[in-house]
Chain A
Amino acid sequence: MIQWNADLARRLACREEEKRALAPLIRRLMELDRKARSSGFLSLEEELREADDPLLAVGLRLVMEGLSGEALEDILATYLLAEERSGWPFLKACVIVEGLIALAESDDPSFMARKLVAYYGADRALAVLEELERPEPATPAAGR
């Protein structure tokens, strides 16, 4: 699926407790997907204003403009590489980019989740997926 090289894989490495913070991020991306599907992509304007990660803000803007496919991927990957993140910030950025590409491809939220849990590694992906598919806990600001 994802074409990684050794350098990128090394940059993804981070602590297990940091990885736990991925679930709220994935939930948030799934929520964006749900909202876009029900109310249209321009309804994501509010999320755009609240985006705390510049990559998420830039990517959302591009997705709202209708950019998808190779052009979107090229632009987001370029920003991602230019920022020289590594460890948790890099992992977070990769999940954001992958989520935005899924959003632009109109993947439904559960399909998006299946793509994103891969970042937990094969040993934890299924358990996290089950957790994500349970009703959302009552923490509206989670992941922000």
Chain B
Amino acid sequence: MIRSLASAAPPPKASRQKKDALFELAARAAIAAEQARSGGVAAVEKAAKAESRRYLRTGLELVASGIDVEAIDLAFAAAQASAAASTAAGDGGPELELRLSLVAVKGIASGEHPYVLMRRMTARLGSEYFEKAESWILERIRRRRVRGDSLVVPGDMPDVVRSLALDKAGLERAIRTAGRDVTAAALAGCPQESVDLAKPLFGKIGGAVLEDDAAYLRSRLSGDEIAQAQSAFLDVVKGLEEGGDLVLGEADSVDEDPAFVAELTRSILGLDAATIKAALRASDGRLLAAAMQGMEPAAHNRILQALPNKDARRILDAIDEADPLPRGAVRSAGRQVASLLLAAAKAKKALKPALERLAAIRDWPD
């Protein structure tokens, strides 16, 4: 249902130069949206102070003052009349800027994801800015590499996600049917592994949005609200299964050997950053990504923090691109990584217990 068509008007015409300037304004607004989600009112106030364009600055000030999203149009009523008059006089620039700023301000006030907001804003500039917006977003993703903390709400959700992930189309159907808002809220209470299984289904940008939204909601929703979202997600899965649209796989084939995961994790947490860096900075990203499927999130963080940013990004890219692997493949990768770590640990004269633990993993039986 194309509801927006009936009420929307064509975007006013503006010069290329004005549109380029508005692209920059959209980028600043998207960054403000990002900061607002992590820094709250203080971040919005700071962005308002730094903003030179009147409409966006005023809008940010209104958001910082706690204005209701519904009241934003009303607050700009006089400005809308004046901008429309400019358009009638042949200059659509002010009206285009106002419309774009209103989209920005409403998005920031409602906590919309900055990349979705960037898409919305730049749509007003025409399809020729689509690729430019995409490049901008991808660059932000490339630079932003933060693995969120996990908050695990007890329940079946992680196991169900793992089972669904055996058939990617099945997991995707469940997520799309549940809706991204419900899914992000449900994933907010899952280990990072669940997010890692879901996000490749939506490409780099969509995956980053899902991961960010889950992290954002983790800090905003109560445990009960997250549990409700998980219950709603599981109801959707059940409904799809009963309707024959979905078949839950047997999780065992990707489920890791808990003893192996615990031991590999403990070994990595027991190593110093220099040893990890020496062993893994030049390692094959795909190998490490596969091995990381057999580690707990604490070990992921330990490795990524030990590596230089460039190498950490390379590994994270490989994780994004990796499919969930069967137990045997993960274990094999884990053994190879243990072997690399063991060589580095010996060279750094690590303590005997650390060496023994790594050797045990290297020789872990099938």
The finding on whether chains A and B are genuine partners in a shared complex, rather than unrelated, reads yes
Instruction: Indicate whether A81 reaches chain B with its CB closer than 8 angstroms.
Output: yes
Q: Which single member of A39, A42, A68, A82 contacts B203 (CB below 8 Å)?
A: A42
Residues of A within 8 A of B201 (CB): 40-42, 66
Q: Which single member of B6, B168, B172, B205 contacts A8 (CB below 8 Å)?
A: B6
**0/1 interface trace, chain B 167-180, chain A, CB 8 Å (1 if under):** 01100110111011
Cα(A73)–Cα(B7), bound, Å? 12
Instruction: Indicate whether B206 reaches chain A with its CB closer than 8 angstroms.
Output: yes
Q: Which single member of B5, B127, B168, B209 contacts A4 (CB below 8 Å)?
A: B5
Chain A: minimal CB distance from B136 (Å): 15
**0/1 interface trace, chain B 1-33, chain A, CB 8 Å (1 if under):** 111111111110000000000000000000000
Q: Which single member of B3, B124, B175 contacts A78 (CB below 8 Å)?
A: B124
Chain B: minimal CB distance from A33 (Å): 12
Among B117-162, those with CB < 8 Å from A are 119-120, 123-124, 126-127, 130, 134
Known A-B contacts A40-B169, A58-B127; the reply to A2 vs B202 at CB < 8 A is: no
Counting contact residues on chain B (CB < 8 A from A), the size range is 35 or more
Of chain A, the residue at the smallest CB distance from B126 is A82
**0/1 interface trace, chain A 26-56, chain B, CB 8 Å (1 if under):** 0000000000011111100000000000110
Residues of B within 8 A of A66 (CB): 175-176, 180, 201-202, 206, 209-210
Cα(A71)–Cα(B209), bound, Å? 13
Instruction: Indicate whether B351 reaches chain A with its CB closer than 8 angstroms.
Output: no
Of chain B, the residue at the smallest CB distance from A115 is B1
Residues of A within 8 A of B9 (CB): 81
Cα(A77)–Cα(B127), bound, Å? 12
Chain B: minimal CB distance from A34 (Å): 11
Cα(A68)–Cα(B112), bound, Å? 13
Q: Are A54 and B127 in contact (CB under 8 A)?
A: yes
Instruction: Indicate whether B116 reaches chain A with its CB closer than 8 angstroms.
Output: yes
Residues of B within 8 A of A42 (CB): 201, 203
Q: Are B1 and A3 in contact (CB under 8 A)?
A: yes
Residues of A within 8 A of B116 (CB): 67, 71
Q: Are B1 and A101 in contact (CB under 8 A)?
A: yes
Residues of A within 8 A of B179 (CB): 68-69
Chain B: minimal CB distance from A55 (Å): 8
Q: Are B119 and A62 in contact (CB under 8 A)?
A: yes
Q: Are B169 and A64 in contact (CB under 8 A)?
A: no
Q: Are A65 and B206 in contact (CB under 8 A)?
A: yes
Instruction: Indicate whether A84 reaches chain B with its CB closer than 8 angstroms.
Output: yes
Instruction: Indicate whether A106 reaches chain B with its CB closer than 8 angstroms.
Output: yes
Residues of A within 8 A of B180 (CB): 66, 68
Cα(A101)–Cα(B2), bound, Å? 8
Instruction: Indicate whether A133 reaches chain B with its CB closer than 8 angstroms.
Output: no
Q: Are A81 and B169 in contact (CB under 8 A)?
A: no
Chain B: minimal CB distance from A29 (Å): 14
Known A-B contacts A37-B173, A81-B8; the reply to A67 vs B1 at CB < 8 A is: no
Instruction: Indicate whether A80 reaches chain B with its CB closer than 8 angstroms.
Output: yes
Cα(A61)–Cα(B201), bound, Å? 13
Tell which of B4, B127, B134, B175 has the most Cβ of chain A within 10 Å: B4
Q: Are A65 and B2 in contact (CB under 8 A)?
A: no
Cα(A39)–Cα(B11), bound, Å? 37
Q: Are A2 and B2 in contact (CB under 8 A)?
A: yes
Chain A: minimal CB distance from B246 (Å): 11
Residues of B within 8 A of A75 (CB): 119-120, 123
Chain A: minimal CB distance from B218 (Å): 19
Instruction: Indicate whether A79 reaches chain B with its CB closer than 8 angstroms.
Output: yes
Q: Which single member of B5, B112, B172 contacts A41 (CB below 8 Å)?
A: B172
**0/1 interface trace, chain A 72-100, chain B, CB 8 Å (1 if under):** 01111111111110000000001001100
Binding site for A on B (CB under 8 A): 1-11, 112, 116, 119-120, 123-124, 126-127, 130, 134, 168-169, 172-173, 175-177, 179-180, 201-203, 205-206, 209-210
Name 22 interchain pairs, CB-CB below 8 A, sorted by A: A2-B1, A8-B5, A40-B169, A40-B172, A61-B130, A65-B209, A66-B201, A66-B209, A68-B176, A70-B4, A71-B120, A75-B120, A77-B8, A78-B11, A79-B126, A82-B10, A82-B126, A84-B10, A94-B5, A101-B2, A106-B176, A106-B177
8 closest Cβ pairs, A-B complex: A65-B206, A77-B4, A3-B6, A66-B206, A66-B202, A78-B123, A40-B169, A81-B10
* Further 12 A-B residue pairs, CB within 8 A, beyond A65-B209, A66-B206, A69-B179: A37-B173, A40-B201, A58-B130, A66-B175, A66-B210, A67-B116, A75-B119, A80-B5, A81-B5, A83-B127, A97-B2, A106-B173
